[in-house]
Chains A and B, each alone.
Chain A
Amino acid sequence: MKPLVALNTLRTRIVLGEAALVAGLVVVAAIGIGALRTVRNTVTQEVESLTAISTQSSTLITALFEQMRAAEQYLADGSLEAHNAFRSGGNAAHAIQGRLQALPDLSESDRLVVTQMEALQAEAEVLYNYAHAQLDLGRRADALAGARVAREHASELLRLVGLLSTSQSTRAEATARSLEQAATDREMLVWTVLAASILIAAAIAVALLQSVERPLARLAAAARRFGDGDLRPVALGDMPAELADLGDAMDRLGGSLRVLVNEVSEESERMATAAQDLSAISEQLAATATDVSTAMDEVSGGAHQQVSGLAESAEAAESLYAAAKDAGMVSGRAAERGADIHRLADTYGSDIGAAGNALIELGNLVQQTANQVEQLDKLSEPIYEFIDLIKQISSQTNLLALNAAIEAARAGERGIGFSVVAEEVRQLADTSAQAADQVSGTITTIRDQVTAMADTMAAGKAQARGVGSVSQGAAEALRQIVRVVQEIETESKRVAGQAEKNLTAVDRIKLALRSASEAAQSHASSSEEVAAAAEQQGASTQEMAAQAAALNRAADHLRALVKGFRA
């Protein structure tokens, strides 16, 4: 149920204000008209009353003066004319006094004055008449004495006449004053009511303006706050219904904006965090990829050296074939190469371990890296085979050198030099085997680490898979290298065993060496592939980093934008 008159609307307030103003003016007008009417009626009444009284008073005074004059004249000349004038004047005065007494508006005091005048006039009349009688009787002295007494009454009568006149003028003045007072009072009343009306109207106008201006100012301030990004709720307070609707609309708008900004803000925070995380991971990935790449480059370089070393071994085997003493040198060099490989493998292992550590850290989120690490793990298996091969080669080389020493002892003095060479070869083979063992241990360590890393990586998220496969690739490459070295070792042993007797053995060695060389080359290319993959990984990681940076920048920008809002 809506109330019949909604006081909280601007329309109602304006209408009511206007109505109050009009009502006030009507009251003022009514009072003014009433006051004027009252004053006019009073003036008319008073003026009529005063006119009647003063008319009678003045004719009375005239009659009294006429009578007294006639009385004195009769004393002077005793004429009938004076006697008649005395009598008619007296009659007229008595009649007028009667009429005066009959006037309803005569005041009590004036009435008493008129009554006293009647008595005095009667006495003066009697005394003058007495004096006239004395005069008629020829008693002039008595007449004049009587006239003196009469004159005393006459003068007292004239004093009363003056009193009556004064009373009339006093009454006129009092009337004028009371009229003035009444007019002033009513004027004051009119002014008061007018002032009250104006005050009420002004109050209504001020209230009306305030009821519009204040809510408008609050609305404007709220709008400015919204514009400045302060979206907190605004207490708009009481306001006319029309403005309250606007305020409600603004409030709803603010609420919607607040929810939106809060969501965007949270999203941007999450995005920024993700971007930062991604960026850090990308940087670490890039560093890891670089490390892997470097390591693979070195592995590749090591493989090339191995290949050339194997080629040299082949030449030495050929020289062994040609000249037994060369065989020891070749074996020694092969052992050197094994040591180099061992050293390299050691270095790679630590590098890959470092990479694995990095990958463990990153593995949760970078599946590609994890995959590459798994590949690295797989690649490390050929290294074992390579090392086994080297061990076999060194074992065979050792056996070959032992055989060579036996053959040298049989040869007598001519074989002394050869036995020295054989000893050297044998020592080389031993050294080579030891180096291979060391490499094997190192590789095992690396492999364990890589396996652990790969396990961690495998447990990580899909992003790390690429990196894991790269690592597996590298590990596989190392394993192949080791396997080839082992084959070389095996072949070396066979070469060493048959070098003296059989060219085919040397050929096989040569073949084996060639095979080893090819395997090494294959390993080298595999390493290069790993390096390339690593480089590719680095590039994609950098791209990812760049995108993460872009994402971060976007998140920052968004966050900056959202930060402008105070939700």
Chain B
Amino acid sequence: MGDRAFSVSRCAGKASVITLRAMVSAKERPGTPLSYAASLRTLAVLTGVGLSGCGTSSEPILIGLAGPFSQQTAQSMLLAAQLAASEINQQGGVNGRQLQLVVQDDSGMGDVAVQVARSFYDDPDIVAVVGHMNSRATLAAARVYNGGDKPVVEISPSASSPEVSDAGPYTFRVCPDDEVHGTQLADWAYRHLATRRVAVLYENDAYGRGLRATFSREFAGLGGQIVTQDPFSTVLPSFEPYLTRIRLRGGADAILFAGALEEAERMLSTINVLRLDQTILSGDGVGGIETSDVDAEGTFVSLAYVHDQPGTRNEAFTSAYQRATGGQLPDHRGAGAYDIVYLLSHVIEEVGTNRQRVRDYLSGIGTETDMFSGVTGSIGFDANGDIVGRNVVIAVVQDNRLVSAAQR
């Protein structure tokens, strides 16, 4: 079951006909934990059908949903996207047709993302793709989505690498890029936290290097000093030498962590062991750290979205999300995915399911048509498919929750 996704191809009266859609997925990569994601996916699709009921007899509209759903960090994205689809289908679907998410796990890896993208690309019923989640997967998959004669739109909720801007005309995102994150973080660190010496620990990938580069440039520009810049990845035996060497370099007021949640937890553990007192700044890659087992209190995180940010749409979303998940709170990926599903349903309502028309309409939002109002804020796109006029929110971990740092 791991490489298949259920889809509802027909719905007549109360009887549901369920067919199996064969999909290429991460099965080929040994060691990838799939069972959890697969069960989740199956559950989600069936749940979506159950919620929507049988309002139409026509074929459902297929939307791809790609992310590392085997990982905890992607759960909000998956659940929020399914929540949005359920809501839309409950309200009668899109132009009388059910919206159906075809979920694929890309493991957050470039090569798997390429395979997932290929399967979406080759399925002519796939109108657009929600994803991928991280920059690496989004960039790798973008080469597939933007190639050939049947390009398909991908809209990432959280791929913040600057490279995504140039990934192609069919690649969009609803989050500010790492430059905004880096710039805002540097500004926050220098101005609000009055730190002058910062040690940078960055994940040695596109995201980490991008965030490192913009932060360092901005912080140095403000007059601060970058004490060290050390790359890490899963192969790093220990963060200890890097953290110890900070002292050797004269110490730092803060540490910028440019990486993902798992390494952040490892680093925080080491910091706790070493009893270091530096302020921790991080980008949105560490989303979920607030509920982590490690002590992350006081960690500043730049986010495209915080659940407690103002807005009636957001309040309704968070309430619905909490109801659907038993009290959990959505992260920026979930909120972004939620907005993307609604955005796509809006676009399909306007121009139908033609891939190119969907892309053309998307690229005109905010310029040719009005900004789209989402839970994360107003959404419009520039020529590169980047969201326009969106600043990040600096949140802080407080009592195992992320709250807006400014509201603290």
Contact = CB atoms under 8 A, between A and B. Distances in A.
A137 B228 CA distance: 14
Contacts of B143: 101-102, 104, 111
B221 interface: no
A126 B204 contact: yes
Interface string A131-142: 001101101001
A122 B241 contact: no
A122 B110 CA distance: 14
Contacts of B235: 123, 126-127, 149, 153
Interface string A433-450: 000000000000000000
Given A98-B163, A111-B143, A136-B245, A129 B237 contact: no
A115 B204 contact: no
Interface string B98-139: 000000000000110010000000000000000000000001
A85 to B, nearest CB: 15
A169 B23 CA distance: 34
Contacts of B231: 122, 125-126, 129
Given A133-B242, A136-B248, A146 B237 contact: yes
Contacts of A146: 237
A146 B238 CA distance: 11
Contact of B204 (A101, A102, A111, A125): A125
Given A122-B204, A125-B231, A130 B209 contact: no
Interface string B201-228: 0001110010000000000000000000
B311 interface: no
Contacts of A123: 204, 233, 235
Interface in A81-100: 87, 94, 98
A112 interface: yes
B140 A115 contact: yes
Interface residues of A, number: 28
A126 B233 contact: yes
Interface in B119-168: 139-140, 143, 147, 163, 166
A302 to B, nearest CB: 145
Nearest to B236: A126
A108 interface: yes
Contact of B209 (A94, A101, A102, A108): A94
Contact of B114 (A102, A111, A126): A111
Contacts of A139: 241
A137 B244 contact: yes
B230 interface: yes
Nearest to B208: A122
Given A122-B233, A126-B235, A126-B236, A133 B140 contact: no
Interface residues of B, number: 27
Contact of B241 (A108, A115, A133, A153): A133
Contacts of B244: 133, 137
Interface string A154-175: 0000000000000000000000
Contacts of B163: 98
Given A94-B209, A134-B241, A136-B245, A104 B236 contact: no
Interface of B, helix, strand, loop or mixed by DSSP:
helix
Given A98-B163, A104-B147, A153-B235, A137 B114 contact: no
B232 interface: yes
Nearest to B243: A133
A130 B241 contact: yes
Contacts of B237: 130, 146
B344 to A, nearest CB: 26
Contacts of B238: 130
Given A126-B232, A136-B248, A112 B241 contact: no
A102 B231 CA distance: 24
B205 A122 contact: yes
B241 A137 contact: yes
A108 B232 contact: no
A146 B237 CA distance: 9
A142 B237 CA distance: 11
B233 A133 contact: no
Contact of A101 (B139, B230, B248): B139
B110 A115 contact: yes
A130 B230 CA distance: 8
A84 B89 CA distance: 57
Contacts of B209: 94
A139 B231 CA distance: 19
A115 B205 contact: no
Contacts of B245: 133, 136-137
A116 B114 CA distance: 13
A137 B111 contact: no
A108 B111 CA distance: 10
A130 B233 CA distance: 11
A126 to B, nearest CB: 5
A137 B248 contact: yes
Contacts of B110: 115, 118
A178 to B, nearest CB: 21
A108 B147 contact: no
Nearest to B110: A115
Contacts of A125: 204, 231
Contacts of A137: 241, 244-245, 248
Q: Looking at B110, B139, B140, B235, which has the most chain A CB atoms within 10 Å of its CB?
A: B235
A101 B163 CA distance: 11
Interface in B238-258: 238, 241-242, 244-245, 248
B228 to A, nearest CB: 9
A112 to B, nearest CB: 5
Q: Looking at A87, A112, A122, A134, which has the most chain B CB atoms within 10 Å of its CB?
A: A122
A440 to B, nearest CB: 147
A356 to B, nearest CB: 129
Contacts of A130: 236-238, 241-242
Contacts of B241: 130, 133-134, 136-137, 139, 142
Given A108-B114, A146-B237, 6 more contacts: A112-B111, A118-B110, A123-B233, A126-B231, A127-B235, A130-B237
27 contacts: A87-B229, A94-B209, A98-B163, A98-B206, A101-B143, A102-B166, A104-B143, A111-B114, A112-B114, A115-B140, A116-B111, A123-B235, A126-B232, A126-B235, A126-B236, A127-B235, A129-B230, A129-B231, A130-B236, A130-B237, A130-B238, A130-B241, A130-B242, A136-B248, A137-B241, A139-B241, A153-B235
What are the 10 tightest A-B residue pairs by CB atom distance, in nearest-first order?
Answer: A122-B204, A133-B241, A123-B235, A115-B110, A126-B233, A126-B231, A133-B245, A134-B241, A126-B236, A126-B204
